[in-house]
Structure 1
Amino acid sequence: MPIITLTTDFGYKDPYAGAVKGAIYSQFPDARIVDISHDVTPFSVDEAAFMIYTSYSQFPKGTVHVIGVDAEHTPESPHIAALLDDHYFVCADNGVLSFILQKFRPTKAVVINIHDRIYSNFTVLDAFVQVACHIKRGGTLEVIGEPITELKSLPGILPILSNDSTSIRGKVIFIDNYGNAITNISRDIFESYGKGRNFILQARDQKFNRIYNRYSEIVKYDENGKSNKPDGKGLALFNNSGYLELATYKSNPLTVGSASSLFGLEINAPVTIQFES
């Protein structure tokens, strides 16, 4: 299936996202283009890394994912094409694949070497589009690049585990449209490290001793079926991506508030889980 996804920080005001789509259709008219997001905070590789991690696996195997975030071609951030978990990724080697690399090693990866045939300062439009269309036409990675075995990971992408097995120190890595604050602490790490012990989770001045699996678990009903209406109440849960999220029930930044606004949680805000000894 000829699906190409786009994840960029281009926004919707400027013509850049539309220009990339036009270039894809010009080179590969049968393409099916899906926007994952064009609202990534400018140059926020951490944010883009989480977005692509939470969405890529919902697409069919063989999908090509073009990631245009902090993607200028430089010696520090060469352009790459990689096959990971039977999906292709075309991006800068700037750590944007960090979350996926925690679970999968590249089946194939190359440093793209077609730039000498392109004169442009908009390489997402030119180099990335050419590579994505080449792949969807059945071309191999070796034709457009030199093989590599290691890809960059973002510093601080993993939480810090204490040597005495008493704490996990993480941070907020993403704020969603509802103002929910998503951390870099995964369920797998929490469960394997915590081993069922009681704990206190702290983010700024907020403390929690329970982590839910669904937002609605915080709702309590009386014998007449009436709820306690906990709109705006804070909670911690593991979201559908398996990462710890700090939220407010039926969050709305414009009305009842959100975890980000009410708890003062922004990107990189510290989140700590202290376990019983």
Structure 2
Amino acid sequence: MFSTHPNNANLRSIGLITDFGLTDPYVGQLKGVIAKKAPACQVVDISHDVEPFNVAQAGFFLAASYEHFPDDAVILAVVDPGVGTDRRIVCVQIDDRLLVAPDNGLLSLAMTHTWTDVRAFDLSRAKAAPKKVSHTFHGRDIFAPLVAWLALGGSPGDLGQEIDPASLLSRAWSHPTLSPGQAQGHVLHIDRFGNCVLNLEAGCLGSPQTVHMISPAGGELAYVTTYADMPEGAPGLLEGSQGFLEIAVNQRSAAKRFGLSMGDAIDLTWED
């Protein structure tokens, strides 16, 4: 199925997101397969340091990153606690970009935060293509040759059936709850500075002066534009560079200040 090049006249860039880390040989093997199948395609590492099994964090990396790639890029995101089971292998097409992942909710945030039409395809047939498949490493044996084939011009519709995007597995962290003066969301990611990225899209609260976090830890957050708008050591809420709101403390760790961890539910209130 992947033995021939569909059309290498229009090569696509490939982006990679995994929780494989760089200590083990897994990333190198995955990229080696891509290099063997599609040697002329540019491969960009978005991140291989997703927290192990953290589908929400990978979903955030994907949603925040895919628009920065060329219009026809193929983005592979493999955080796959269900590897080897009957979970589907799926592809979402947003404009001309193709996002490939296991159907475990990883794609749901990207679909929620797009304003364009989304098409989805079940590409589980790809499991039958390789001659030898490890039940524990579909990233190397199935996903890598699949994305190489797509990057060489393969069409997802030629491999799998188009499906309703609403049939893909969704997660609570993809759908924050918003009402006048109140929001309930989740911490998707904590960056190396201790900033806590929420699943609340930038601008969704309007322009309050202050926001009160009532759980899991209480505190007043100034609604600011830049980190420097807060006095050193003071907390705030701002629209981060990734398109989502983040809780920050100027030159300190917000995660340590408020005892926050990835996955925590957040309740915010403010006056309109």
Q: Which residue of 1 aligns with 2:4?
A: none
Q: Report how many residues are paired.
A: 253
Shift of 1:264: 0.5
Any idea what the Cα deviations from partners look like across 1:166-215, whole Å, max 9, x if unmatched? 42122212111111111112234312xxxx56653215444225311211
> What is the DSSP-based 3-state SS (H/G/I as helix, E as strand, rest coil) of the residue aligned with 1:171?
strand
CA contact (8 A) 2:15 2:46 kept: yes
Counterpart code for 2:245: L
> What is the DSSP-based 3-state SS (H/G/I as helix, E as strand, rest coil) of the residue aligned with 2:204?
helix
Q: Which residue of 2 aligns with 1:190?
A: 205
Unmatched segments (≥5 aa) in structure 1: 220-229, 252-257
Q: Which residue of 2 aligns with 1:224?
A: none
Counterpart code for 2:162: P
Structure scoring higher RCO (CA < 8 A, sep ≥ 6) equals 2
CA contact (8 A) 1:113 1:144 kept: yes
Structure index of larger Rg: 1
> What is the DSSP-based 3-state SS (H/G/I as helix, E as strand, rest coil) of the residue aligned with 2:164?
coil
Of 222, 226, 246 in structure 2, the residue corresponding to residue 210 of structure 1 is 222
Of 154, 159, 162 in structure 1, the residue corresponding to residue 171 of structure 2 is 154
Question: Does the C-alpha gap of structure 1 residues 89 and 73 become closer, same or farther in structure 2, counting only changes over 3 Å?
Answer: farther
CA contact (8 A) 2:56 2:173 kept: no
Q: Which residue of 1 aligns with 2:243?
A: 242
Question: Does the C-alpha gap of structure 1 residues 107 and 236 become closer, same or farther in structure 2, counting only changes over 3 Å?
Answer: same
CA contact (8 A) 1:81 1:112 kept: no
Counterpart code for 1:241: Q
Q: Which residue of 2 aligns with 1:78?
A: 88
Q: Which residue of 1 aligns with 2:44?
A: 34
Partner Cα separation in structure 2 for residue 158 and residue 170 of structure 1 = 8
For the pair 1:130 / 2:136, whether they are aligned, the reply is: no
Identity value in percent: 29
CA contact (8 A) 1:61 1:87 kept: yes
Partner Cα separation in structure 2 for residue 58 and residue 197 of structure 1 = 29
Counterpart code for 2:197: I
Unmatched segments (≥5 aa) in structure 2: 1-10
> What is the DSSP-based 3-state SS (H/G/I as helix, E as strand, rest coil) of the residue aligned with 2:172?
coil
Counterpart code for 2:235: G
CA contact (8 A) 2:235 2:247 kept: yes
CA contact (8 A) 2:210 2:221 kept: yes
Q: Which residue of 2 aligns with 1:223?
A: none
